[in-house]
Amino acid sequence: MVYENYEEGGESEVTRVRMPKGRETIGIVDEMLGAGRFRVRCLDKKNRLCRVSGKFKKKQWIRPGDVVLVEPWEVESDEKGDIIWKYRTAEVEWMKKKGVIKDLI
């Protein structure tokens, strides 16, 4: 969960960002393939075919260039995964500033 404090002028300050836990990794969406599937380039230098669950697909629009959190599958973990989180612009800027995603972008 992310908490944002809004200052004057409508800019937000990020106070909490969801970070990868366990097998999760951060990735950037390269291509939309249709049917809730995307080609994602991950921090671990692997390109994965990722899917979005129905409840998440209806709440969030994912487009090429978005930074997402990917959980690799137990089987074929180098090739496939699930998108479980989409980072907002303020969160991405915070991660760039902290050096978390410097290899990705």
CB 80 within 8 A of CB 48: yes
Kindly state the DSSP code that residue 24 receives in the 8-state scheme.
-
pLDDT at residue 1 tops 50: no
Q: What is the pLDDT of residues 29-76, one digit of tens each?
A: 999 998 899 999 999 999 999 999 777 777 888 999 999 999 999 999
Domain range annotation of the chain = 20-98
Claim: this prediction has a pTM higher than 0.85: no
Q: What is the pLDDT of residues 69-79, one digit of tens each?
A: 999 999 999 99
CATH no. for 20-98: 2.40.50.140
Q: Which residue has the higher pLDDT, 105 or 49?
A: 49
Altogether, the residues listed in the chain come to a count of: 105
pLDDT at 2: 46
